[in-house]
């Protein structure tokens, strides 16, 4: 089983630069410094490395959008990790901070940036401390500073701690926060690659995305691509939680079946007498799947996998997702949440929607008002005080949010709402009938 981003898990010494170097650390940076920046970008494109932060956008393509004549370019590492159920970046930074630094320097070199910020979730005190220590060591050893590993290439890196707002994980909101402004998402376009941090071209990448880069330089893009599936290469750190025997971070090849993630990596259901009822495959903003939908590869193509039921706005009315494709689900932020037969799906849905209503930044009306309405209606249904017509009302509100907001927090509210309604409709109906 190939381990890339979790290869140093369990080795407390790997946090120290001397041990990291003995394990081959910073050798790939030296290799990358001998390559043309464009050759690094080409290798990452070949690798089919898709972003691990949620949207799954190909990293190499994102890098290639940076204008070649840009004078100041920033790299921003998204270590905010706020999506409920997601905890892989925290572990990755804890066990292997130097891999993140090495991957980030290589990425910066590829886009001709001399400055990187790691924006880390405020609550991750230990992660921020470890990264500060690791960065100080990297400066001491000459991997950061005026001449990276003696190459003449200058590179600085800073850790910036957030203050616990989920919305600051959204890339443009994160950039505003980093600039000292209110953490509100920006309208796109312009995309950060054209106008990002302080108005300059910027690449924002997730922690795990960047931690794959040293290995791509070492083994080559083709090798990395071969570990995964078509257009989605490598392995993924899966943050597995809920009713399984073996929760935690499991690194799996992209395209491993969701069934195997639960029953092999996860050791199966926590209580063998309580079978699987549902699974959220990509953090709570991604549509829930029923027990008979888990025999599918865990990869971005899940979005189109026909074994998964289409999410509906109303019976027979499918929800279309980008480019007119039917919305099914996806591996999103890498969090797999397993729920057994004892789970109250209406209550689970209400809890999820309450989170998004709380975290809405309030900038756009459909999200600000709609998420609050949904949270209140879903909560009353869960508490046994639902009214006839509540299901249709919730579906209508969710549909009104979808596609009509500045950032994807709108979809992060609408998608789980519609998926729970589509797939566990009888449970909502029964709860409302009981109330009547």
Strands, E, within 212-290: which ranges? 235-242, 248-253, 276-280, 289-290
Compute the least distance from the CB of residue 259 to ligand FMN, in Å: 25
Taking CB under 6 A as the criterion, the residue among 204, 406, 414, 432 binding ligand SF4 is 406
Q: Please tell me whether the peptide bond between 423 and the residue prior to it is cis, using omega within 30 degrees of 0.
A: no
Instruction: Return the number of the residue (112 or 285) whose C-beta is nearest ligand SF4.
Output: 285
The neighbouring-strand residues paired with 237 are 251
Token couple for 160: 């910036």
364 binds, among ligand FMN, ligand SF4, none (CB under 5 to 8 A by kind): ligand SF4
293 binds, among ligand SF4, ligand FMN, none (CB under 5 to 8 A by kind): none
Tokens 């100041």 correspond to what residue?
72
- CB burial string 339-373: b at 16+ within 10 A, e below: bbeebebbbbbbbbbbbbbebbbebbebbbbbbbb
Note whether 364 binds ligand SF4 by CB under 6 A. yes
- CB burial string 71-88: b at 16+ within 10 A, e below: eebbbbbbbbbbbbbbbb
Q: Which window, 142-150, 331-339, 403-411, 416-424, contacts ligand SF4 (CB under 6 A)?
A: 403-411
Where along the sequence are the contacts to ligand FMN (CB under 6 A)? 51-55, 57, 59, 78, 80-83, 167, 169-171, 204-206, 209, 407-409, 412
Compute the least distance from the CB of residue 212 to ligand FMN, in Å: 10
Burial category of 297 from C-beta neighbours within 10 Å (exposed 0-12, middle 13-18, buried 19 and up): buried
Compute the least distance from the CB of residue 183 to ligand FMN, in Å: 10
Q: Which window, 50-58, 128-136, 361-369, 380-388, contacts ligand SF4 (CB under 6 A)?
A: 361-369
Note whether 409 binds ligand SF4 by CB under 6 A. yes
Which of 241, 347, 234 has the alpha carbon at shortest distance from 7?
A: 234
Instruction: Return the number of the residue (139 or 184) whose C-beta is nearest ligand SF4.
Output: 184
206 binds, among ligand FMN, ligand SF4, none (CB under 5 to 8 A by kind): ligand FMN
Compute the least distance from the CB of residue 58 to ligand FMN, in Å: 8
368 binds, among ligand FMN, ligand SF4, none (CB under 5 to 8 A by kind): ligand SF4
54 binds, among ligand FMN, ligand SF4, none (CB under 5 to 8 A by kind): ligand FMN
Compute the least distance from the CB of residue 341 to ligand FMN, in Å: 31
Note whether 6 binds ligand SF4 by CB under 6 A. no
Site string for ligand SF4, 161-200 (x = CB under 6 A): ------x-----------------x---------------
Which residue's CB atom is positioned nearest to ligand SF4? 367
- CB burial string 12-31: b at 16+ within 10 A, e below: eebbebeebeebebbebbee
Taking CB under 6 A as the criterion, the residue among 67, 267, 275, 362 binding ligand SF4 is 362
Note whether 367 binds ligand SF4 by CB under 6 A. yes
Displacement of CA 380 from its chain's centroid (Å)? 31
Taking CB under 6 A as the criterion, the residue among 177, 285, 360, 422 binding ligand SF4 is 360
The angle at the Cα of 53, spanning 52 to 59, to the nearest 5 degrees, equals 55
DSSP characters for 134-194? HHHHHHHTTSSBSSGGGSS--BEEEEEE--S-GGGGSHHHHHHHHTTS---PPPSSSPTTT
- Half-sphere exposure of 60 toward its Cβ, with a 13 Å CA cutoff? 22
Token couple for 211: 């931690």
C-alpha to C-alpha distance for 202 and 338, rounded to whole angstroms = 36
Residues 6+ apart with CB under 8 A from 19: 11, 13
Instruction: Return the number of the residue (16 or 123) whose C-beta is nearest ligand FMN.
Output: 123
Residues that bind ligand SF4 (CB under 6 A): 167, 185, 360-364, 367-368, 405-407, 409-410
């Amino acid at each position: 089983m190939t381990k890339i981003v979790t290869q140093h898990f369990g080795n407390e010494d790997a946090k120290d630069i001397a041990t990291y170097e003995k394990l081959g650390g910073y050798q790939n940076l030296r290799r990358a410094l001998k390559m043309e920046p464009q050759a690094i970008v080409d290798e990452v494109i070949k690798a089919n490395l898709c972003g691990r932060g949620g949207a799954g956008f190909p990293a190499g393509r994102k890098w290639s959008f940076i204008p070649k004549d840009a004078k100041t370019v920033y790299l921003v590492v998204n270590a905010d990790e706020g999506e409920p159920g997601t905890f892989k970046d925290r572990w990755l930074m804890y066990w292997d901070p130097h891999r993140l630094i090495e991957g980030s320097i290589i990425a910066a070199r590829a886009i001709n940036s001399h400055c990187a910020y790691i924006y880390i979730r405020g609550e991750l005190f230990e992660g921020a401390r470890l990264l500060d220590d690791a960065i100080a060591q990297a400066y001491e050893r000459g991997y950061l500073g005026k001449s990276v590993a003696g190459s003449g290439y200058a590179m600085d890196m800073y850790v910036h701690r957030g203050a616990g707002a989920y919305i600051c994980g959204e890339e443009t909101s994160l950039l505003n926060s980093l600039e000292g402004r209110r953490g509100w998402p920006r309208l796109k376009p312009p995309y950060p690659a054209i106008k990002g941090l302080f108005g300059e071209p910027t690449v924002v990448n997730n922690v795990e995305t960047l931690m794959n880069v040293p290995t791509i330089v070492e083994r080559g893009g083709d090798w990395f691509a071969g570990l995964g599936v078509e257009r989605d290469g490598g392995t993924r750190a899966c943050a597995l939680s809920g009713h399984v025997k073996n929760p935690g971070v499991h690194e799996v090849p992209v395209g491993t079946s969701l069934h195997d993630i639960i029953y092999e990596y996860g050791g199966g259901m926590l209580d063998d007498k309580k079978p699987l009822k549902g699974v959220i495959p990509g953090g709570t903003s991604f549509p829930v799947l029923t027990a008979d939908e888990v025999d599918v590869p865990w990869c971005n193509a899940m979005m189109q996998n026909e074994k998964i039921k289409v999410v509906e706005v109303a019976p027979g009315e499918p929800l279309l997702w980008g480019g007119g494709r039917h919305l099914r689900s996806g591996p999103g932020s890498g969090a797999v949440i397993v729920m057994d037969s004892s789970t109250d799906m209406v209550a689970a849905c209400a809890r999820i929607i309450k989170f998004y209503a709380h975290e809405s930044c309030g900038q756009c009306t459909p999200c600000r008002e709609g998420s609050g309405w949904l949270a209140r209606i879903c909560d009353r249904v869960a508490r046994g005080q639902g009214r006839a017509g509540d299901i249709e009302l919730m579906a209508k509100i969710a549909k009104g949010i979808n596609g009509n907001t500045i950032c994807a927090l709108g979809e992060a509210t609408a998608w789980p709402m519609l998926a729970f309604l589509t797939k566990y409709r009888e449970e909502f109906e029964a709860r409302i009938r009981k109330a009547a």
